[in-house]
Amino acid sequence: MEGINYFSAFLIGLAGGVHCVGMCGGIVAALRMVSPKGASALPYTLAYNMGRIVSYTIAGAITGALGKIAADYIPLANYALSLLSGIMLLLLACYLGKWWTGLTVLESAGKGLFSKLQPLSKRFLPFKTPFSAIPYGFIWGWLPCGLVYSTLTWSLAAGNALQGAAIMFFFGLGTLPTLLAASAGSQYIVRSFQHNHIRQIIAVIMAIYAAYLIHGAIV
C-alpha cells in the first residue's frame, strides 16, 4: 500500500508539472540570469530543485507526525484521516483533470508565511556556486501552491512522519521533469506534459484510487 501511495504521489507531481511551470517556471528560467556568466545552468537548476524538494519533504514529515499524534490520542482520528486522504486525492484528481479547480483557494493560506520568507531568498543572489541555489530553492519551496497543500493534506493520513516525508519527496520528484525541461528550454517535453490526454489519464487513475481509499475508510 505504501508503494502505491508513493507512486500516486509521483503521478500527482508529474501531472501537476504544468501547474508548477506556471507557478515556478519564471523562477527556474531566471536562474540562468543569476548564475555565473558562461556557466552551465544545469547544476544550478538541479540544486534549486533539490532545495525545493527538501522543503516539501520536511513539510510532509511535519504533517505526517501531526497525523500520527492525532491518531494516537483522538478516537476515530485514524479513520477520519484516511477518509480525508481519499477525499483530498479525489479533489486532486478533479484539479489535475480540470474538472473542478476549487483547490486553488488553498493557495491563499500560505501567503502570510511566504511573504516573510521570500526576502530571505535574496541573500543568496547572485549565485556563486550551485550550493547557494539549494537554500534559495528551499525558501521558494514554501511558495503558496494549492497542489502542494492538497498533497500535504493527503500526507496527514500517511501514518507517521517518515511516510509523510516520503509521500512529499516522491511528489517533488514527480514535478522535476517538467521544471528541468522548462529550464533547458525544451518546449517539446513541456508540451508533452501539457497534453490533455495525458492529464486526463492520470486524473482518472487518481480518481479510481481515491474511490478505493474512500471505500476502505468507510467500510
What is the identity of the amino acid at 203? A
Q: Give the pLDDT of residue 51.
A: 94
pLDDT at 162: 94
d(CA 136, CA 67): 29
104: its cell numbers: 486553488
Closest-CA residue to 165 (of 87, 55, 90): 55
For residues 13 and 173, the answer to whether their CB atoms sit within 8 Å is: yes
Question: Do the beta carbons of residue 99 and residue 202 sit within 8 Å?
Answer: no
* Domain interval for residue 98: 2-218
Return the pLDDT at 171.
93
Q: Could you tell me which residues come within 8 angstroms of residue 32 by beta carbon, excluding any fewer than 6 positions away?
A: 41, 44, 183
Q: In total, how many domains does the chain have? A: 1
Q: What is the pTM of this model?
A: 0.83
Question: For residues 219 and 213, what is the distance between their CA atoms, to the nearest angstrom?
Answer: 10
| pLDDT at residue 192, as a whole number | 62
Q: What is the DSSP string of 74-131?
A: STTHHHHHHHHHHHHHHHHHHHHTTS--GGGGGGGGGHHHHHHHHHHHGGG-S-SSGG
Pick the closest to residue 178 from 163, 204, 164, 198 (CA basis): 198
Amino acid found at 39: A
Divide the 219 residues of the chain into consecutive groups of 10 and give the mean pLDDT of each group. 73 72 60 73 86 95 93 84 84 82 69 75 82 89 80 84 94 86 61 70 84 84
